[in-house]
Amino acid sequence: MASPPLRFEQRTAIVTGAGQGLGRAYALLLAGRGAQVVVNDINVAAADGVVEEITDAGGIAIADHHSVSTPEGGVALATEAQDAFGAVHIVINNAGVNRPAEFADLTPELFDEMIAIHLLGPCHVLWPLWPAMVEQGYGRVVNVASGAVWGLRGQAAYAACKAGIMGLTRTLAREGRYHGVRVNCVLPWAVTDQSPDRSGEEFGPIIDAHIHPENVAPAVIWLAHQDCPASGESFTVDGPRMARLAWIASQGHTDPTPTPESYRDHWDQIMDLTGFTVPKSTNDHMQNTVMPHFNPSTEEPPQPQ
């Protein structure tokens, strides 16, 4: 017997940067599943166009044109959503820009712009909404990072901010777990109108056929549903492929009297991921990854082997 479809009736969702591309796909799918959607985008025509698409299809949506790059914009967005629909249950922090530049060519002003939008933007949106989510005992937050965190030339500022989003997600999930608020992170990959033409590349036909926003959106919307059990996790979503990402730690090398040479001489052991652990939190890392390498009976580190 097939499972019932996932629905979002009586849920209000904010999607930032929802005027085009991935954000638009998230907003359309949420609305198609019954959610009331706040379509946020500083491109007025784009946001209004997505709202028109939703309402023409029988859905419920309003447009918001505030920038999430300032605290004032975050407060105004939250206020508009609450005035229109009451409680806010879902936030998808998707808004962003990309300013590719080699690190040597980055300016503090460019870096500040990226931080304001990509790292502080989700905070600006959540600061006015988080207390209400805690009070109502329910919330779903999906933060959007990027595969650039693995290292991508010309993307130092972008990658740094997106890596920060992954760390923010982990901590918010720890704080929200006591209040019914779950927070996860996605690293999506999709070809949009702004993407370079890949049709002539070896994998171009596959990318064109599968790696598009409509195939990414279902994974993001699943993370936004009340039935999704995950929190504090990150997922790569490559078109129609969703996979869990994990921060892992090797068994490493413990030396009670460390020297640079001792780590040099045990470098292979330090780098060996055999028997790796997956810390769930900072405390978990200490308890299950670090402390087992020390002898609890003597409170002294074991002798190196």
Distance CA 183, CA 142 (A): 6
Dihedral sign of CA atoms 286, 288, 292, 293 in order: negative
Distance CA 184, CA 186 (A): 7
Q: Where are the domains of the chain?
A: 12-245, 247-305
pLDDT band at 287 (very low <50, low <70, confident <90, very high): confident
Q: Which 8-state DSSP code applies to residue 4?
A: P
Class of domain 247-305: mainly alpha
Mean pLDDT of 124-138: 98
Lowest mean pLDDT segment, chosen from 11-20, 132-141, 247-256: 247-256
Three-state secondary-structure class, residue 233: coil
Measuring CA to CA, how many Å separate 93 from each of 57, 61, 197?
24, 17, 27
Strand duo 241-245 + 234-238: pairing: antiparallel
For residue 81, give the nearest of 140, 52, 51, 38 by alpha carbon.
38
Mean pLDDT of 219-230: 98
Counting beta carbons within 10 angstroms of the beta carbon of residue 105, is it exposed (0 to 12), middle (13 to 18) or buried (19 or more)? Answer: exposed
| Catalytically annotated residues | 158
Residue 299 is predicted with a pLDDT of 45
Q: In sequence order, what are the residues at sequence separation of 6 or more whose Cβ sits closer than 8 angstroms to the Cβ of residue 236?
A: 147, 186, 187, 189, 242, 243, 245
Distance CA 151, CA 184 (A): 21
pLDDT in tens, 22-34: 999 999 999 999 9
Residue 191 is predicted with a pLDDT of 82
What CATH number is given for 12-245 in this structure? Answer: 3.40.50.720
- Note the pTM of the prediction, 2 decimals: 0.90
Hey, do 12-245 and 247-305 end up sharing a CATH topology, with the first three levels equal? no
Distance CA 301, CA 305 (A): 12
To 5 degrees, how large is the angle CA 109–CA 152–CA 24? 75
